[in-house]
Amino acid sequence: MVNLAVPIALTRQSMYYSTILFSTFVILLPFSILSYLYFYSTLIPISVLRVPITFFPRYSFHQERRGYANLEPYTKVFEQTPELVYLLSLNLDIICYSEKNNIRSVIHNVTLGSYSARSTFVLNCEEDYIFHSNNRLVPYKLRHYVPPQLTDIRKIVTVNSPYSLLSGRQISQSSSHNARIDVHKNTDVDDNHSFLEFYVQWDGIRYYMVTYYKTSLLVGTIIFWGFSSFVCLLTAMVTWSKYNESDQEVKNIKVKKES
């Protein structure tokens, strides 16, 4: 007769190992990512508030561009977080029309109640710079060999210009819930992708979690995954040892009966 004990034992062990690997990588790894994301959202409910800016039409390209950002829908957030400090920043999509004067400075101003600040950013409308900014993975010299469906050929430059720090109390107690934005003449702004942004200035561990988001996601996932995998392996080892003990007892009983 053929002894089937060894093949059955090998099959049983392979099933145990495959089950552990499946549980560790297919179940516990996604669960660890979701656990970290839940932990992140609980610890950091908000990281930035983006308020859309509506610009008024103008009759001439040489006129100053003026727009408004309605803060009223976000007033409760500022009222509930009076001690939080926000970094006021202007995020604009600038359309580059002319190929002349490719690099120039643009003056802009933000007014919120009694708060008013003027700043300047450098606008670079050079073709290679625009293409690289909008297509990080495609080299500029290889742009003609890439299908146009996979590249962004719009002549739009995204500019982020920070202003100053404001507390939630200062913003909520402002005399006006409309922030006025004035952009220097000879500058055309895309209304659909322009925002007034309020970045929460977290401190401690939350500062690193926001500033180094991808690194924190990787480290946090490894920690959650390592702990859950350790518990899974420990449970499997305990179960395996108990099963071996019971299996050995059954074998001893069979040997005694045969003898």
pLDDT at 197: 95
Q: At what angle do helices 5-22 and 213-258 cross, to 10 degrees?
A: 160
Proportion of the chain above pLDDT 70, given as a percent: 86
Tell me which of 166 and 237 has the higher pLDDT: 166
Distance CA 122, CA 225 (A): 45
At 56, the pLDDT band (50, 70, 90 cuts) reads: confident
Architecture of domain 46-201: Sandwich (2.60)
- Which whole number is the average pLDDT over 115-137? 88
**Runs of H (alpha helix) within the chain:** 5-22, 29-43, 75-80, 127-134, 168-172, 205-211, 213-258
State the sign of the Cα–Cα–Cα–Cα dihedral 252, 257, 258, 259. Answer: positive
How many residues are recorded in the chain? 259
Q: What is the pLDDT of residues 81-120, one digit of tens each?
A: 899 999 999 999 998 876 555 788 888 899 988 888 888 8
Domain boundaries, the chain: 5-42+214-258, 46-201
Q: What is the pLDDT of residues 150-163, one digit of tens each?
A: 888 888 888 888 88
Nearest residue to 58 via CA among 219, 188, 207:
188
Least confident of 70-74, 101-105, 130-134: 101-105
- Which whole number is the average pLDDT over 47-72? 86
Proportion of the chain above pLDDT 90, given as a percent: 41
- Which whole number is the average pLDDT over 7-11? 58
pLDDT at 143: 86
Neighbours of 200 (CB within 10 A): 19
**In the predicted model, is pLDDT for residue 135 greater than 70?**
yes
pLDDT at 186: 77
Least confident of 31-35, 182-186, 214-218: 182-186
pLDDT at 2: 47
At 1, the pLDDT band (50, 70, 90 cuts) reads: very low
